[in-house]
Structure 1
Amino acid sequence: MTADSGLVGTLLARIERWRGPGFTTIGICGAQGSGKSTLVAALAGQLAAQGVRVATLSLDDLYLTRTARQRLAREVHPLFATRGVPGTHDIALGLAVLGALTQGEPAPLPRFDKASDDRAPESQWPRAPADTQVLLFEGWCLGAGPQAEAALAEPINALEANEDPQGIWRRHANAALAEDYQRLFARIDRLILLAAPSWSVVATWREQQETDLRTKGGAAVMDPAGVARFIQHYERLTRHILATMPAYADLTVRLGPEREVLGLG
């Protein structure tokens, strides 16, 4: 998949307007399969070609180590063994990275190895240069706000109904989102939302990703039933983001089923 050249050009112009004299963090939120990583790579390449000192970071790179998530699964709820939802990230690590970049210091940029389901050794992390000007920070729930308590009462899919009937998992994730995550998200200067047309389209995009991996012979590839269960971990918050974030994002990019750009708002 390649990034839409028109969208890249539009966002480059926005970033140029948004950039201050020092360090600027541009957040990009988008559901699984919406093209965040591809877009960030294209933007970073263009900014670097213009002489801008740019670094990239994904919320996925801030996952807790596998050992830490296994402990969370034992002590709080088994569903926290699966990375992804709020509560499974090392927010202190993210704040340390952004703090260093804000001060103009060079900073190692964490990287997570999804093949081993664990954080990559620090020796393999790239380094952001001193006086980095722009950080492109992307994530599936980046910038999201918590849900109201009443919204958590009823399960929204089979995973929640069967594996979280008492709501322990979803309430713990929502509490994490309301607290530590908001401190991290407050460091984002401008927020862009890649808005999928619906949750059903997001589910289709995620299955397409896995189909591509199967074609390429990727390791630890899920079958369709596995994908269907996996994406239910993300359904609640994805629906919430699509319903609420357009009201406060600095820019909403409305996408169609083929990830085509339908409009900006």
Structure 2
Amino acid sequence: MERASVRPFVLGICGAQGSGKSTLSDALAGHMRAAGVPTSVLSIDDLYRTHAERAALARDVHPLFAVRGVPGTHDVGLGLDILDTLASGLPARLPRFDKAQDDRAPEADWDEAPADTRLLILEGWCVGARPQADDALAEPVNDLERLEDGAGRWRRTVNRALAGDYQALFGRIDMLVLLAAPGFEAVRDWRIEQEHGLARGAAPGASGVMSDAEVERFIRFYERLTRHILDEMPGRANLVIRLRKDRTPCSIVPARRGR
């Protein structure tokens, strides 16, 4: 007998660091499960390449690739395999990334999306993002790019990665929701708050927990694409939830007719 297969509906939720996308995704998943809809959540953060893989990228491509976050530091093929497996009617293992250790968690700690998954929530800071135009990459957006990527090799490589397999992954999204921060400046406070929470739950001496100063540097890796998303994505997302600095919604705007 042939295995019945129904491709799960893929809901993409995009939002800057600390915007509440993981909290929203988990709450929505719980609501849908209670309503009888088999639902799973996959964060793009859980697709990060291992520490060793990123160290190799830093050695062979550009030193800034040692830091997780930007396109090029995810195993996009793994994400596509998960979607293909679920579409074929089979259960799929969902990787987990241990941010406190800055490495992929052991497979024993991974979750599993059941074979009958009907809703897959794909959430992450750059979910659904599109690459920038080449001429937009010429000028650095912050001191990180100015001092450590003066020739633009890192940011151009990031943009090429985003234009490649990431678009194949994002092309599987059936509905895209954007949690729009009031500006990049709010992301700093949100990310520091997020790191404090991570520190409280981490084992003593966990290597991946950052100080406030380290967070300040870390968010500079995300600045270019976050600003681009906030500028470009509202015009095409199916739903835009604009947030105040305290993360409460100030407006919820559905897609315009004919978009």
TM above 0.5, one fold?
yes
Instruction: Quote the residue 1:16 is aligned against.
Output: none
Asked if 1:153 corresponds to 2:138, the answer is yes
SS class of match (2:10): strand
For residues 103 and 46 of structure 2, the distance between their equivalents in structure 1, rounded to whole angstroms, comes to: 10
Tell me how far 1:203 sits from its aligned partner.
1.5
Asked if 1:36 corresponds to 2:10, the answer is no
> Structure 2: any 5+ residue segments left out of the alignment?
1-5, 254-259
Q: What is the 5 A alignment of 1:216-235?
A: 219-220=206-207, 221-235=209-223
Change (3 A) 1:169 1:191: same
Change (3 A) 1:97 1:147: same
Tell me how far 1:123 sits from its aligned partner.
2.5
Q: Which shifted more, 212-221 or 245-254? A: 212-221
Q: What is the 5 A alignment of 1:100-111?
A: 100-111=85-96
The one-letter code sitting in structure 2 at the alignment partner of 1:260 is T
CA RMSD of aligned residues (A): 1.5
Change (3 A) 1:214 1:100: closer
> Structure 1: any 5+ residue segments left out of the alignment?
1-20
Instruction: Quote the residue 2:195 is aligned against.
Output: 210
The one-letter code sitting in structure 2 at the alignment partner of 1:251 is L
SS class of match (2:172): coil
SS class of match (1:244): helix
Specify which of 187, 205, 215 is matched with residue 172 of structure 2. Answer: 187
Tell me how far 1:22 sits from its aligned partner.
4.9
Q: How many residues align?
A: 245
Q: Which shifted more, 216-225 or 79-88? A: 216-225
Tell me how far 1:208 sits from its aligned partner.
2.1
Specify which of 63, 66, 73 is matched with residue 88 of structure 1. Answer: 73
The one-letter code sitting in structure 2 at the alignment partner of 1:134 is L
Asked if 1:177 corresponds to 2:165, the answer is no
- TM-score w.r.t. length of structure 2: 0.91
Contact 1:23 1:104 in 2 (8 A): no
Tell me how far 1:54 sits from its aligned partner.
0.6
For residues 164 and 197 of structure 2, the distance between their equivalents in structure 1, rounded to whole angstroms, comes to: 36
The one-letter code sitting in structure 2 at the alignment partner of 1:128 is A
Q: What is the 5 A alignment of 1:71-82?
A: 71-82=56-67
Percent of aligned positions that are identical: 59
Asked if 1:121 corresponds to 2:106, the answer is yes
For residues 131 and 244 of structure 2, the distance between their equivalents in structure 1, rounded to whole angstroms, comes to: 26
For residues 140 and 227 of structure 1, the distance between their equivalents in structure 2, rounded to whole angstroms, comes to: 16
For residues 41 and 8 of structure 2, the distance between their equivalents in structure 1, rounded to whole angstroms, comes to: 13
Q: Deviations over 1:50-79 (max 9, x none)?
A: 111111100011111111111100001000
The one-letter code sitting in structure 1 at the alignment partner of 2:215 is V
Higher helix share: 1
SS class of match (1:262): strand
